[in-house]
């Protein structure tokens, strides 16, 4: 049977499409720019809701540091408007195209739907932390507005934070309102070479504790460093630290950081252009982009536990890894089938965290719990929220297993 395609051109048409699907309980595969189809559990629907025509910046006053845009607006359009005013999205949204080898067009709605956040998260927060308001359509074809153009403390259910990272399973974004910030005047990236994983974790922790405001901290072991850095820096593990801000401030903070790292190993300061490429490659998981035959996990643990987890796994199976977010985000490539039970047991022994299977074959994604299984009370609460907002279960059914 051919797949029916809904292609609304505006919010009114979006409401009508969802109301039509809800009336006959037709499940919808919600799609923006098509760059993240491999995320989450496979969704099999006879109808697709294509949001790519819902584009355009609705309001943007650079002086307010707030933008509102329709969900299908290409991220490139958002970035161009911000660039013209020397502003930026603070959380460096990850581009999943390198991982999946696809094309498509990243959209601002897709960024918030999966809470795509890059290296600056340790300083600026995740995508959801920068989302101020949403206008969305629930599973009954009703428009709901939550939040606004300023950050406010509210009581009750925080729908803004709830929808961010829900993978389109709770509601369909019509517009999103989010914070932006001025671009830093300059940036400096310091690379400490030769540290093993444990030494790198300690060095990053020390750097984060200094009053120098490190905006990104990552470690590239010897097995992956050559896929991101070149020249002499590609010959040894690289622990990477970034500083951003006004030029005079960065100069002072850089000297303090260099002095603190001087006894760790050879230290190199790389130029801003090279640094920008490095952090883009780390954000987009470039080290594992071309290894699509290997299951890839995104593991979140406490920063001090990341290297311990990888070391424990290496005693039992073949893995490759690198670290972002001061070691708290581990990108983990398995040599064998995705050994979810082994991985999640190791995480539990270290005090907790969660593992998401980001890339695997469709068969593997269908047979392995892609997301960290929720404790029963939380799973019951999630199911109740889903039933209240999408009672007919028409939005991306199964994408997230509750």
Q: Is the sign of the CA dihedral 37, 42, 44, 47 positive or negative?
A: negative
| Structural domains of the chain, with CATH | 1-183 (3.30.465.10), 186-283 (3.30.70.2190), 286-360 (3.30.70.100)
- The per-residue pLDDT for 123 is 94
CA–CA distances in Å: residue 23 to residues 47, 136, 141, 217, 383: 14, 18, 9, 49, 21
Cβ–Cβ under 8 Å, residues 329 and 300? yes
Query: What's 55's DSSP letter?
Result: -
353, 300 contact by CB (below 8 A): yes
| Cα 289 versus chain centre, distance | 15
Residues of the chain with pLDDT under 50: 1, 150-156
pLDDT value of residue 293? 78
Residue 400 φ then ψ, to 5°: -115, 125
Please say whether the beta carbons of 112 and 128 come within 8 A: yes
The pLDDT score that the predictor gives to residue 152 is 42
Q: Which helix (H) or strand (E) holds 279?
A: helix 272-283
pTM value is 0.93
Q: Please, which residues have CB within 8 angstroms of residue 232's CB and are 6 or more apart in sequence?
A: none
Q: What are φ and ψ of residue 53, in 5° steps?
A: -90, -10
Angle between helices 340-349 and 306-314 (to 10 degrees): 130
Q: What is the pLDDT of residue 395?
A: 95
Ramachandran category for residue 265: left, alpha or beta (phi over 0 → left; psi -120 to 50 → alpha): left
């Amino acid at each position: 049977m051919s797949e029916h395609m809904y292609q609304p051109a505006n919010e009114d048409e979006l409401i009508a499409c969802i109301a039509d699907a809800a009336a006959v309980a037709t499940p919808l595969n919600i799609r923006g720019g098509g760059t993240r189809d491999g995320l989450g559990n496979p969704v099999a629907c006879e109808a697709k809701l294509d949001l790519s025509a819902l584009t355009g910046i609705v309001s943007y006053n650079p002086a307010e540091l707030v933008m509102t845009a329709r969900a299908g607006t290409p991220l490139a359009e958002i970035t161009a408007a911000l660039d013209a005013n020397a502003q930026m999205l603070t959380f460096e949204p990850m581009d999943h195209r390198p991982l999946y080898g696809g094309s498509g067009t990243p959209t601002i709605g897709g960024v918030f739907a999966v809470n795509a956040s890059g290296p600056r998260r340790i300083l600026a927060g995740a995508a959801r932390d920068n989302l101020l308001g949403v206008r969305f359509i629930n599973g009954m074809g009703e428009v709901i507005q939550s939040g606004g153009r300023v950050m406010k403390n509210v009581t009750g259910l925080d729908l803004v934070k709830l929808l961010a990272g829900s993978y389109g399973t709770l509601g369909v974004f019509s517009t999103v309102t989010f914070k932006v910030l001025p671009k830093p005047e300059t940036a400096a990236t310091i690379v400490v070479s030769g540290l093993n994983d444990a030494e790198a974790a300690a060095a990053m922790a020390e750097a984060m504790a200094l009053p120098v405001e490190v905006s990104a901290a990552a470690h590239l072991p010897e097995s992956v460093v050559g896929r991101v850095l070149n020249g002499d820096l590609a010959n040894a593990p690289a622990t990477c630290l970034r500083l951003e801000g006004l030029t005079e401030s960065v100069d002072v903070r850089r000297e303090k950081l260099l002095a603190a790292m001087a006894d760790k190993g050879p230290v190199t300061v790389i130029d801003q252009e090279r640094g920008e490429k490095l952090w883009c490659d780390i954000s987009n998981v470039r080290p594992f982009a071309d290894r699509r035959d290997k299951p890839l996990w995104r593991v979140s643990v406490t920063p001090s536990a990341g290297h311990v987890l990888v070391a424990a796994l290496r005693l039992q199976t073949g893995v490759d890894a690198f670290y972002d977010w001061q070691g708290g985000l581990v990108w983990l490539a398995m040599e064998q089938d995705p050994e979810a039970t082994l991985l999640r047991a190791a995480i539990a022994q270290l005090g907790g965290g969660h593992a998401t299977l980001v890339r695997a074959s469709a068969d593997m994604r269908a047979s392995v719990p892609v997301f960290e299984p929720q404790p029963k009370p939380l799973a019951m609460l999630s199911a109740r929220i889903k039933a209240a907002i999408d009672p007919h279960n028409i939005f991306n059914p199964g994408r997230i297993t509750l």
